[in-house]
Amino acid sequence: MAPGCSHERARGGLGGAAGGAEMKFALSTLALPAGTHGAWLPTLAQLGLSGLEVVPHHTWRGRDPASLGPEAAVLARAARLAEVEIVGLHGLLDDAPEAGLFQGKEALQRAVERIVQLSSVCRDLGGRSLVLGGQRWRGELDEMTAWGELLQLLDRVLPQIEGHGTVLCIDPLAPERADFCQRANECRLLVDYVGHPALGFQLNSAVMVANGETGHAPFSVLRGRLDLFHAAEPDLLPITTSGRVDHTDFRRHLAAISFREWVVLHQRATADVAPDLEQAARRLTYHYRRRDNASLVQLVAAGAASCPTAH
């Protein structure tokens, strides 16, 4: 029998091109000029990007999340026409200083309301992931009280968004943005403790470098549980330009845990958007397109083609 002649295995049990189970690539709207994102959607497929992650404060600057229904409908329609999938929303608490953790009861309640409203927007866009973002500074607040407040937030949010079909992704943050629940292991322990289906996990390459968590351990414990990965550089520089992030190594970590979800190109818009975006997309796919098992996939595909047709 030819190698890979099992029809079940040839359908994609080994991943890669033969099974259509590679990582998917998306773009953060941060990489586009503010407020002009619908017009860029037809370009994404040409760049090898099939998804879009929306940063609300960049896409709809200064707008109340409760009033975004019409704008979300326009963007959703443009995405359908361009055959681009909306991945979700990122930075739910960015640009909202009045809402957040460790600022008192009113700020906590405003954070709950904002997250739930944006979850509704995400649902209407057809997206799933909600990356919390923002900052997490507990300052002089004792650690147990800080954990208690974060759990309060989740306890109020998660039952409301579960019906939307969205997942709130806790994301590790770099040292300049947090002094609490900052590292990947802390965030994972929180997700494990809460154990709610609407609570997920996101990793960011630049944050992992900043936190010294570039080994395989943070990935291995998230096998089958990682919802989203951001390919990013420090200070949101164009991908690969800082020289500090080994994206090929991150791809190997993701491949080792059979990651098949979205890898999001997460960088700021440059002055010369179109050519720089094309170059960034090429770099993203070069570093994150799976090649480690290319010869094995080709062998399995060739073996499947030589198998006799079942009658």
Long-range contacts made by residues 14-21, C-beta under 8 angstroms, separation at least 24?
Answer: 14/293, 14/296, 14/297, 14/300, 15/258, 15/260, 15/290, 15/293, 15/297, 16/290, 16/293, 16/294, 16/296, 16/297, 17/294, 17/297, 17/301, 18/297, 18/298, 18/300, 18/301, 18/304, 21/260
- pLDDT value at residue 134: 80
- The SS3 assignment for 228 reads strand
Residue with tokens 């700021």: 268
Locate all alpha helices (DSSP H) within the chain, ordered by sequence.
7-10, 37-46, 56-59, 69-82, 105-125, 143-162, 184-194, 205-210, 217-220, 247-256, 273-288, 294-306
- pLDDT value at residue 135: 84
- pLDDT value at residue 4: 37
Beta bridge partners of 24: 262
- pLDDT value at residue 209: 97
Predicted model pTM: 0.86
Are the C-beta atoms of 227 and 201 separated by less than 8 Å? yes
Task: Label residues 226-259 b or e (16+ Cβ within 10 Å = b).
Answer: bbbbbbbbbeebbbbeeeebebeebbebbbebeb
- pLDDT value at residue 62: 82
Select from 30, 81, 24 the least CA-distant residue to 49. 24
- pLDDT value at residue 3: 35
What does the CA dihedral 10, 3, 260, 72 come to, rounded to 10 degrees?
Answer: -40
- pLDDT value at residue 2: 35
What whole-number percentage of the chain has pLDDT above 70? 86
* pLDDT tens column, 261-287: 999 999 999 999 999 999 999 999 999
Fold of 23-289: TIM Barrel (3.20.20)
- pLDDT value at residue 95: 82
**pLDDT per residue as tens, the chain (311 positions):** 333 333 332 223 333 333 346 899 999 999 999 987 888 999 998 899 999 999 999 999 888 888 999 999 999 999 999 999 999 999 998 888 889 899 999 999 999 999 999 999 999 999 999 998 888 999 999 999 999 999 999 999 999 999 999 999 999 999 999 999 999 999 999 999 999 999 999 999 999 999 999 999 999 999 999 999 999 999 999 999 999 999 999 999 999 999 999 999 999 999 999 999 999 999 999 999 866 544 444 445 555 554 544 44
